[in-house]
């Protein structure tokens, strides 16, 4: 049997060897584990792209008449890109942007006409929106794959850690994007459709076209004449909202312009919360928003905004019950705002957003498809639950100690006052 001193020395040597082995091996293990996790996400996003292609192909087969070459054409379209205009000299940048967006829209409509030539106007718009959604998810998948391959090529663990920390958010957005594609393929509204839904609920009269893919109706609300504007539905369109507002403002004695749209919420804010503000509530890159602002400026009238709060994922996913139930509150606030306008003046109310599944009158939106939000319980590992309970117990003990200290100070103060 080895003496105790020799045994202890042996343990020290073994521990030293293990220590240095871990210094060398663990960083490589961590790197390859991060790469494996990122590879899994990249493969998931690529599978979403393929699923989007299948969904678009299926819709085209159902709504169009062509039976061959659809899938190949859709796959080519998903690589579509738009090059931003030169902005070194900002003069005229909005017109350049508008020109590019209009031509991109024309391109998508042309492709939709090729792959589903016999579909009606509604499904032509839905297919255009599906193609755009496919481009978005394909771009996201290619971006993730690019960084995964860059990490593997450079063996850069710092870059791997930065990318891996963002993967849960990227994956969550991709899942929501995919859910939105499925909803549009069924002709159902998404979260962003809440603005057009509010407008449609107030449209009792005949809807007349006023700009590209935009309709309006003249309504009597709170004894005021209101021009209610929305993108033409129930196809998935956004429309040239700015052109419509500018044209109506020039032709009428307008006292106020109100825009209602979905708005990104802060974490902790409830979904469906309705807020009021000033400005044009429209998530446009610039051209349409600028036209609404110019119309308000030319008439020197207030430009008010009604925002219905939701997360980015909820905006591009099927409409939830919380968002749907926010519509009556938004309408109530709109009516209050309209009531403050002189009776001889007119108001322009604009429902901004993707109008998929939303018709052009109140009778068409009496029943709207929405889904119940599934609340997922947070499942923490056992060690996290244990540590969390320790922290909560410590915070309760600190709170009780502060309360006792305050009570002692209060009693001492009362006793001093009695003296």
Structure tokens, 190: 């998404």
Return d(Cα 11, Cα 324) in angstroms, integer: 67
pLDDT score for 377: 45
Query: What are the per-10-residue average pLDDT scores of the chain (419 residues)?
Result: 64 74 78 87 92 90 78 88 85 89 91 87 90 92 92 88 88 89 90 93 91 92 92 90 93 93 90 92 87 93 94 89 93 93 91 92 85 60 78 86 88 79
Return d(Cα 336, Cα 199) in angstroms, integer: 15
pLDDT score for 374: 59
> How many C-beta neighbours within 10 Å does residue 291 have?
25
Structure tokens, 324: 């749907």
Write the CATH number of the domain with boundaries 191-365.
Answer: 3.40.50
Return d(Cα 62, Cα 120) in angstroms, integer: 12
* Sign of the torsion formed by the C-alpha atoms of 33, 34, 38 and 41: positive
pLDDT score for 143: 92
Return d(Cα 16, Cα 10) in angstroms, integer: 10
pLDDT score for 197: 94
pLDDT score for 380: 66
Residue-range domain boundaries for the chain: 12-185, 191-365
pLDDT score for 366: 85
pLDDT score for 4: 66
Question: Using H for helix, E for strand and C for coil, what is the string for the chain?
Answer: CCCHHHHHHHHHHHHHHHHHHHHHHHHHHHHHHHHHHHHHHHHHHHHHHHHHHHHHHHHHHHHCCCCCCHHHHHHHHCCCCCCCCCCCCCCCHHHHHHHHHHHHHHHHHHHHHHHCCCCCHHHHHHHHHHHHHHHHHHHHHHHHHHHHHHHHHHCCHHHHHHHHHHHHHHHHHHHHHHHHHHHHHCCCCEHHHHHHHHHHHCCCCCCEEEECCEEEEEEEECCEEEEEEEECCCCCCCCCHHHHHHHHHHHCCEEEEEEEEEEECCCCCCCCCEEEEECCCCCCCCHHHHHHHHHHHHHCCCEEEEEEEECHHHHHCECEHHHHCCHHHHHHHHHHHHHCCCCCCEEEEEECCCCCCCCCCHHHHCCCCCECCCCCCCCCCHHHHHHHHHHHHHHHHHHHHHHHHHHHHHHHHHHHHHC
pLDDT score for 28: 81
Return d(Cα 55, Cα 58) in angstroms, integer: 5
């Amino acid at each position: 049997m080895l003496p105790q001193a020799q045994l202890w020395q042996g343990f020290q040597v073994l521990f030293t060897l293990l220590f240095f082995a871990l210094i060398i091996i663990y960083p490589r293990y961590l790197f390859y584990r991060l790469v494996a996790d990122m590879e899994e996400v990249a493969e998931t996003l690529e599978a979403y792209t393929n699923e989007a292609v299948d969904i678009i192909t299926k819709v085209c087969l159902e709504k169009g008449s062509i039976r061959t070459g659809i899938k190949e054409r859709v796959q080519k379209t998903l690589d579509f890109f738009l090059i931003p205009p030169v902005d070194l000299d900002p003069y005229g940048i909005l017109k350049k942007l508008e020109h590019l967006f209009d031509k991109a829209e024309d391109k998508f409509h042309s492709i939709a006409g090729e792959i589903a030539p016999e579909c009606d106007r509604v499904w032509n718009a839905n297919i255009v929106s599906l193609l755009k959604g496919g481009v978005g998810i394909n771009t996201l998948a290619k971006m993730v794959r690019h960084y995964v391959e860059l990490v593997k090529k450079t063996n850069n663990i710092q870059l791997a850690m930065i990318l891996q920390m963002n993967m849960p958010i990227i994956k969550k957005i991709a899942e929501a994007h995919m859910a939105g594609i499925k909803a549009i393929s069924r002709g159902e509204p998404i979260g962003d459709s809440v603005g057009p839904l509010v407008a449609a609920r107030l449209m009792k009269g005949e809807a007349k076209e006023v700009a590209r893919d935009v309709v309006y109706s003249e309504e009597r609300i709170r004894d005021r004449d209101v021009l209610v504007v929305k993108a033409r539905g129930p196809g998935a369109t956004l429309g040239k909202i700015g052109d419509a507002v500018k044209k109506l403002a020039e032709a009428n004695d307008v006292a106020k312009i109100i825009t209602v749209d979905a708005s990104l919420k802060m974490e902790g804010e409830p979904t469906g919360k309705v807020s009021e503000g000033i400005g044009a509530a429209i998530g446009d890159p610039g051209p349409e928003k600028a036209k609404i602002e110019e119309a308000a400026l030319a008439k020197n009238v207030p430009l008010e905004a009604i925002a219905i709060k939701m997360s980015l994922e909820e905006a591009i996913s099927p409409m939830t019950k919380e968002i749907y139930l926010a519509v009556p509150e938004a309408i109530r606030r709109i009516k209050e705002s309209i009531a403050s306008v002189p009776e001889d003046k007119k108001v322009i109310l604009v429902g901004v957003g993707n109008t998929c599944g939303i018709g052009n009158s109140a009778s068409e939106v009496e029943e709207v498809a929405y889904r119940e939000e599934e609340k997922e319980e947070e499942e923490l590992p056992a060690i996290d639950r244990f540590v969390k309970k320790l922290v909560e117990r410590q915070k309760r003990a600190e709170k009780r100690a502060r309360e006792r200290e305050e009570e002692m100070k209060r009693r001492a103060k009362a006793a001093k006052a009695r003296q």
